[in-house]
């Protein structure tokens, strides 16, 4: 990557996953100056392949991102490695704007290493962090035989003995979903409350076994998951384990703008309108940071949509400036 930042851009995109890169592609093709700042820690890095994405089924995540970076650069966009520390309001040319979105308003994006760049608009596409249960083996096997999304990994574990490690309010729903891919499903209540009577009836009707008691660890043999060990020493043989992690948007750097994540049943996210526009004028958001369940395809589409609206917003501002200049001539 060329890590040299220019002084200013039309748009700074924070996050270089599917949402950020597709947004950058749209903006670069719109002849906007755009930079993607990428911390290099994609959420799906442990996965063997991207699934459910038409035309790219099974492609390794790293290859998909590298192709995306090359496409962005091919239209004059820039991709820079780095971690954003803060985004603050800045003024361009010493002017002022009542609503913060006028021609003189802008943002200062500061990286953790001290580099800075100004932006007329900001697109946040930093994704989220998966907070996993504190059970030995879960983090180590994450993205391999410990999974979370049936639509991303269900086919790969079809007809296997699958366990669901209860970790939150979505675990029962996740269990019932996985029954579509295998008829050998075991629900481990772990430290959660036992299933309600209605939930227990649903799982029994689908032939899903419920195991009570705390899970101590995952059993690994020859680099392969073979079972779930309970605190009482018993082991239930399993070939794959699903968890529903708590998903938290990576947006701490936006605090100075007054934009923070809010609670969601599955974690924390940043609300926005249908175009990705946030409550802070000039800031858009796309991908998992606002849609916790978005897969690669929908995240990319959201990035493209946000980029189109950002460009339209800039066109409107450019037109206001041109009209004002003409009247003042």
Tens of pLDDT, residue by residue over 153-171, are: 999 999 999 999 999 999 9
pLDDT value, residue 91: 66
pLDDT value, residue 2: 62
Tens of pLDDT, residue by residue over 204-227, are: 999 999 999 999 999 999 999 999
pLDDT value, residue 42: 85
| 105 or 194, which is more confident | 194
Tokens of 98: 């009542």
Tokens of 306: 């946000």
Average pLDDT along the chain: 93
Q: Is the pLDDT of residue 326 over 50?
A: yes
In 7-93, the DSSP E strands lie at 8-14, 34-38, 78-81, 84-91
Tens of pLDDT, residue by residue over 250-297, are: 999 999 999 999 999 999 999 999 999 999 999 999 999 999 999 999
pLDDT value, residue 47: 85
- Exposure class string for 199-216: b at 16+ Cβ within 10 A, else e: beebbeeeebebbeeebb
Tokens of 25: 């592609």
Tokens of 42: 């994609």
Tens of pLDDT, residue by residue over 53-66, are: 989 999 999 999 99
Tens of pLDDT, residue by residue over 125-152, are: 999 999 999 999 999 999 999 999 999 9
Tens of pLDDT, residue by residue over 58-90, are: 999 999 999 999 999 999 999 999 999 999 998
Q: Is the pLDDT of residue 96 over 80?
A: no
| 103 or 42, which is more confident | 42
Distance CA 36, CA 224 (A): 38
DSSP letters, 163-221, are EEE--STTHHHHHHHHTTT-S-EEEE-TTSPPPPHHHHHHHHHTT-EEE-S-EEEEEES
pLDDT value, residue 329: 72
Band (pLDDT 50/70/90 cuts) for residue 104 is low
Over residues 103-132, the mean pLDDT reads: 92
pLDDT value, residue 45: 81
Pairing of β 215-220 and β 225-230: antiparallel
Tokens of 120: 């007329």
Q: Is the pLDDT of residue 93 over 90?
A: no
pLDDT value, residue 43: 85
Band (pLDDT 50/70/90 cuts) for residue 97 is very low
Give the alpha-carbon dihedral of 21, 22, 24, 27, to 10 degrees.
180
């Amino acid at each position: 990557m060329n890590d040299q930042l220019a002084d200013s851009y039309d748009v700074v995109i924070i996050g270089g996953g599917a949402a950020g890169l597709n947004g950058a592609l749209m903006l670069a093709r719109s002849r906007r100056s755009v930079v993607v700042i990428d911390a290099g820690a994609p959420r799906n890095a442990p996965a063997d392949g991207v699934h459910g994405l038409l035309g790219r089924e099974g492609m390794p995540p790293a290859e998909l991102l590298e192709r995306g970076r090359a496409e962005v650069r091919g239209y004059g966009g820039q991709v820079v490695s780095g971690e954003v520390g803060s985004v603050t309001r800045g003024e361009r040319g010493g002017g002022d704007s009542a609503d913060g979105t006028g021609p003189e308003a802008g943002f200062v994006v500061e990286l953790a290493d001290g580099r800075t760049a100004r932006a007329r608009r900001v697109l946040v596409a930093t994704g989220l962090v998966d907070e996993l249960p504190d059970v030995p083996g879960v983090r180590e096997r994450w993205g391999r035989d410990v999974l979370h999304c049936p639509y991303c990994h269900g086919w790969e574990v079809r007809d296997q003995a699958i366990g669901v490690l209860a970790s939150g309010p979505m675990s029962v729903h996740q269990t019932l979903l996985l029954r579509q891919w295998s008829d050998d499903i075991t629900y481990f209540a772990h430290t959660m409350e036992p299933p309600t009577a209605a939930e227990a009836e649903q799982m029994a009707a689908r032939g899903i076994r419920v195991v009570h008691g705390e899970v101590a660890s995952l059993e690994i043999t020859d680099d392969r998951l073979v079972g779930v060990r309970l605190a009482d020493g018993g082991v239930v043989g399993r070939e794959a384990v699903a968890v529903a992690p708590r998903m938290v948007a990576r947006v701490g750097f936006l605090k100075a703008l007054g934009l923070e994540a809010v609670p969601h049943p599955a974690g924390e996210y940043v609300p926005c309108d249908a175009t990705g526009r946030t409550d802070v004028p000039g800031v858009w958001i796309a991908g998992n940071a606002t849609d916790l369940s978005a897969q690669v395809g929908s995240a990319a589409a959201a990035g493209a949509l946000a980029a189109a609206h950002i460009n339209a917003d800039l066109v409107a501002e450019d037109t206001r400036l041109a009209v004002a200049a003409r009247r003042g001539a």
